């Protein structure tokens, strides 16, 4: 497989962490590079995870090309019920982070998309601080398994431990809520909406 390198006369415009979704349903984390001529997704071979799974993408500055295309030929559009924009390629779809969209064309980032993410950030942050023990902030972000875990540990574990586990989960919720509120809108969307990082 080819590796990513800038060609003569080509310059790097932007890069960002991104996820590539395969037809088999796997998700591979890596780096999306936008240059003056093309867009390329690079990742470590064989490392994939399910959305929100344990193997969340931590690879940055990857160089093995999994997808590339000329800017003039790449189509960026919505896919299915997803609210984010994707690049579609053969057997692959790549979620495009806002940093890349902004560099390609700022008009791709609509006010409504930003407002929705900001609304989720504020709602999840406040609910994490006030009702963290019940995992409500997780449900707001669409993290149903994590929300159920927090709810179960609080109710069942709290009953068994005399409330000690409920207190621990509540503190975790407060920490997560504060982290959500203190994270910039762009980082929040990249980490919790696009990359679906379920825990801290």
Residue 37 · residue 70 · CB < 8 Å: yes
Residue 20 · residue 28 · CB < 8 Å: yes
For the chain, residues classed under CATH 2.30.29.30 are 12-107
Q: What is the pLDDT of residue 45?
A: 59
The CATH T-level fold of domain 12-107 is PH-domain like (2.30.29)
Q: State the pLDDT confidence band at 46, using cuts at 50, 70 and 90.
A: low
Return the higher-pLDDT residue of 105 and 81. Answer: 105
Confidence (pTM) = 0.51
First to last CA, the chain: 34
Q: What is the pLDDT of residue 42?
A: 86
Return the higher-pLDDT residue of 104 and 155. Answer: 155
- Positions of E strands within the chain: 12-22, 27-35, 38-43, 65-70, 76-78, 85-89, 92-95
Q: State the pLDDT confidence band at 118, using cuts at 50, 70 and 90.
A: low
């Amino acid at each position: 497989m080819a590796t990513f390198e800038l060609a003569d006369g080509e310059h790097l415009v932007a890069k960002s962490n991104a996820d590539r979704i395969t037809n088999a349903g796997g998700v591979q984390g890596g780096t999306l590079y936008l240059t003056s001529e093309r867009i390329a997704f690079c990742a470590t071979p064989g490392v994939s995870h399910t959305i929100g799974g344990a193997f969340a993408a931590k690879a940055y500055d990857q160089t093995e090309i999994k997808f590339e295309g000329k800017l003039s030929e790449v189509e960026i559009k919505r896919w299915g019920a997803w609210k984010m924009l994707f690049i579609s390629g053969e057997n692959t779809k790549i979620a495009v982070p806002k940093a890349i969209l902004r560099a390609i064309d700022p008009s791709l980032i609509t006010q409504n998309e930003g407002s929705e993410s900001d609304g989720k950030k504020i709602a999840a942050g406040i609910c994490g601080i006030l009702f963290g023990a019940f995992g409500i902030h997780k449900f707001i972000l669409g993290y149903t398994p994590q929300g159920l875990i927090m709810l179960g540990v609080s109710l069942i574990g709290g009953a068994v431990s005399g409330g000690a586990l409920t207190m621990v989960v509540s503190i975790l919720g407060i920490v997560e809520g504060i982290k959500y509120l203190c994270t910039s809108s762009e980082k929040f969307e990249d980490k919790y909406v696009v990359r679906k990082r379920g825990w801290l």
